Amino acid sequence: MKGHRQACVSAADNQPLTKCRPGGKAAFMRFSRPAIGKFLGRIMLASLLLITLQFEAGAAEAAQNLVPQQLAAYATAQPSRTEGPPFLSASARQERPAGQTFRDCPNCPEMVVVPAGTFRMGSPDREVGRRDNEEPRRQILIKSLAVGRFEVTRSQFAEFVDATRRDMASGCSLWTRSLDPEIRHRAARSDKHSWRDPGFAQTDDHPVTCVSWEDARAYVQWLSVRTGQPYRLLTEAEWEYAARAGSAAAFSFGGNANALCRFGNGADLALQRVRPEWSVVNCDDGHVNTAPVGSFIPNAFGLYDMHGNVWEWVQDCFRWTYDTGRTDGRAVDPRVCRPLRVMRGGSWGNEPALLRSAARGDFWAEFRSNVSGIRVARSLP
Ligand SMILES: [Ca+2]
Ligand SMILES: [Ca+2]
C-alpha cells in the first residue's frame, strides 16, 4: 500500500491519478492547473501524515515485541559519547519480532531473533585484559538475524554424526594449565579422546566440544539441508554484537569480572579446588569443566553462555586488526586473512580476560580441543 500511495504523488510518474483511481484520467482533465496543484498538495500532506502514523505504530509494535530483559538493558545501557544503544525500529518490519524464539525441527537448536542495530566493535584502551587485536574500534551495522539461544549440545551434535557418519575419530587436544608462566595454557593432543569423551563427564545437554571449525561448518550445512533454512555460523561482528546485547562494557552485564559466576562458566574457584595451578576468577560458578547449556543468566538478547562454557567458532578467518574499514556485519574476506579461524567467548578453562565480549581466539580450522564448541545462526528474510 505504501508503494501505491507513492505512485499517486510521485512527480516522476506520468500518470499519477489514473494509477490511483480507475477512470481517474477523466476527473483529472476537469481540473484547472491551480486546482490540480492544490489537489496534489493535499494528497501529499495526507500521505505524509499516514506514513508518520504508520511509523509510530510500527515503533510501538517493536517495543511491545521486545523481551523484558531487552527493554531493561536498553533503559540502563551506558553508551559512550560516540555510540548509542541498538537501533530498534527495524524489528517493526520483520516477519519475526526481536526476542521471538523458534525451532525448525524437534531437536534443532532453539533460535532467538536478534534485532538489527549498530554497535562499536572492539575494546577501549582502558578495558582490563584487552589485547591490541581488538582495534581499531569501529561502528558496525548488523542486520536482524536468528542466533542459537544456547551452544549446540551433545544431543544435537550426535544426530548430525549419526546422520552423516562424519569421521570424528582423529583425537582431541586437552587443555591444561602450564607451569611455565610464559605459556600459561597448553593443549596436549590425545588420540583416545573425542567429542564423546572430552576428558570429563558430560550429559546430553552439555555443549558439544572437541569440534573443529570444519566440524562446525559441516554441522550448519547439514542443518540447512535438513531444515531447508539458511543456517550458518555467526560472523565475528555478529557474534560480538550478540554477546554485547547493547552493552559497551567488558561483559554484557557490566565491567565487574567477579560477577561472572552468575552469567557464565569460566575458570573459577570450583576449578581451582581440583586444579590448584589454574588461575581463576574470585567466585564459584559450581562447574569444574562444562556446564549444561543455559545454566546461567542470559544476556539482554536472551542468549545464554556467550561468556564461557565453550569457545564458539565463527565464520571469519583471523586477521590481527580490524583495519579493513568494514562497517557491516559480513565476515572478513578470506583472501586478506592468516589461515586461522576465529573463536569467541572463552571457555570453562579461561580467566575473565578471555571471556570478555571483545576477546578473540584464533586456531587452525581443523583443530579440535576440549574447550571449543558451536553456536549457530540463521539468516532472516
Ligand atoms: Ca567454572
Ligand atoms: Ca560460550
pLDDT tens-digit map of 304-363 = 999 999 999 999 999 999 988 889 999 988 888 878 999 999 999 999 999 999 999 999
- 169 is a domain residue: yes
Q: What percent of the chain has pLDDT over 90?
A: 66
Do residues 233 and 291 touch, judged by C-beta distance below 8 A?
no
- 259 is a domain residue: yes
For residue 127, give the C-alpha cell. Answer: 578495558
Give the model confidence (pLDDT) of 124-166 as tens digits: 999 999 999 999 999 999 999 999 999 999 999 999 999 999 9
Report the separation in Å between the CA atom of 193 and the middle of ligand 1, taken as the mean of its atom positions.
21
The residues near 306 (Cβ < 8 Å, ≥ 6 apart) are: 242, 243, 245, 252, 264, 299, 345, 357
Report the separation in Å between the CA atom of 183 and the middle of ligand 2, taken as the mean of its atom positions.
23
Distance in angstroms between the alpha carbons of the first and the last residue of the chain: 20
Asked which of 87-91, 218-222, 252-256 is least confident by mean pLDDT, the reply is 87-91
Report the separation in Å between the CA atom of 234 and the middle of ligand 1, taken as the mean of its atom positions.
25
pTM of the model: 0.75
d(CA 6, CA 16): 9
Give the pLDDT of residue 181.
Answer: 61
> Do 125 and 39 share a domain, yes or no?
no
> Do 37 and 74 share a domain, yes or no?
no
What angle do the packed helices 213-227 and 154-164 form, to 10 degrees?
80
Backbone angles phi, psi at 87, to 5 degrees: -75, 120
Ligand nearest to the CA of 209: 2
The band of 64, judged by pLDDT with boundaries at 50, 70 and 90, is very low
Report the separation in Å between the CA atom of 177 and the middle of ligand 1, taken as the mean of its atom positions.
14
- 85 is a domain residue: no
Number of domains observed in the structure of the chain: 2
Q: Which residues partner with 379 through β-bridges?
A: 145
> Do 228 and 312 share a domain, yes or no?
yes
d(CA 282, CA 269): 7
- 84 is a domain residue: no
- The overall average pLDDT reported for the chain is 80
Report the separation in Å between the CA atom of 108 and the middle of ligand 1, taken as the mean of its atom positions.
26
Report the separation in Å between the CA atom of 306 and the middle of ligand 2, taken as the mean of its atom positions.
4
Give the pLDDT of residue 324.
Answer: 84
> Do 75 and 6 share a domain, yes or no?
no
Report the separation in Å between the CA atom of 309 and the middle of ligand 2, taken as the mean of its atom positions.
5
Report the separation in Å between the CA atom of 103 and the middle of ligand 2, taken as the mean of its atom positions.
20
> Do 46 and 165 share a domain, yes or no?
no
Report the separation in Å between the CA atom of 31 and the middle of ligand 1, taken as the mean of its atom positions.
78
Report the separation in Å between the CA atom of 242 and the middle of ligand 1, taken as the mean of its atom positions.
22
Triad 138, 318, 278: Cα angle to 5°: 100
Report the separation in Å between the CA atom of 157 and the middle of ligand 1, taken as the mean of its atom positions.
23
Q: Is the peptide bond before 136 cis (omega within 30 degrees of 0)?
A: yes
Q: What is the DSSP string of 252-305?
A: TTBS-GGGGGGT-B-S-HHHHHH-TTS---SS--S-SS---TT-S---TTS---
Helix, strand, coil percentages, rounded to 5, for the chain:
30, 20, 50
> Do 188 and 276 share a domain, yes or no?
yes
Give the pLDDT of residue 42.
Answer: 53
Report the separation in Å between the CA atom of 355 and the middle of ligand 1, taken as the mean of its atom positions.
12
- 57 is a domain residue: no
Give the pLDDT of residue 96.
Answer: 81
Is the model's pLDDT at 9 over the cut of 50?
A: no
Give the pLDDT of residue 180.
Answer: 61
Do residues 303 and 112 touch, judged by C-beta distance below 8 A?
yes
Report the separation in Å between the CA atom of 85 and the middle of ligand 2, taken as the mean of its atom positions.
23
Give residue 29's domain range. Answer: 2-52
- 180 is a domain residue: yes
d(CA 14, CA 224): 46
Ion ligand 1: residues, CB < 5 A? 265, 268, 285, 287
Is the model's pLDDT at 370 over the cut of 90?
A: yes
Report the separation in Å between the CA atom of 219 and the middle of ligand 1, taken as the mean of its atom positions.
27
Report the separation in Å between the CA atom of 241 and the middle of ligand 1, taken as the mean of its atom positions.
24
> Do 28 and 176 share a domain, yes or no?
no
- 59 is a domain residue: no
> Do 28 and 105 share a domain, yes or no?
no
Ligand nearest to the CA of 375: 2
> Do 151 and 41 share a domain, yes or no?
no
CATH number, domain containing residue 137: 3.90.1580.10
Report the separation in Å between the CA atom of 111 and the middle of ligand 2, taken as the mean of its atom positions.
15
Ligand nearest to the CA of 148: 2
Backbone angles phi, psi at 102, to 5 degrees: -160, 165
- 230 is a domain residue: yes
> Do 27 and 172 share a domain, yes or no?
no
> Do 38 and 75 share a domain, yes or no?
no
> Do 145 and 291 share a domain, yes or no?
yes
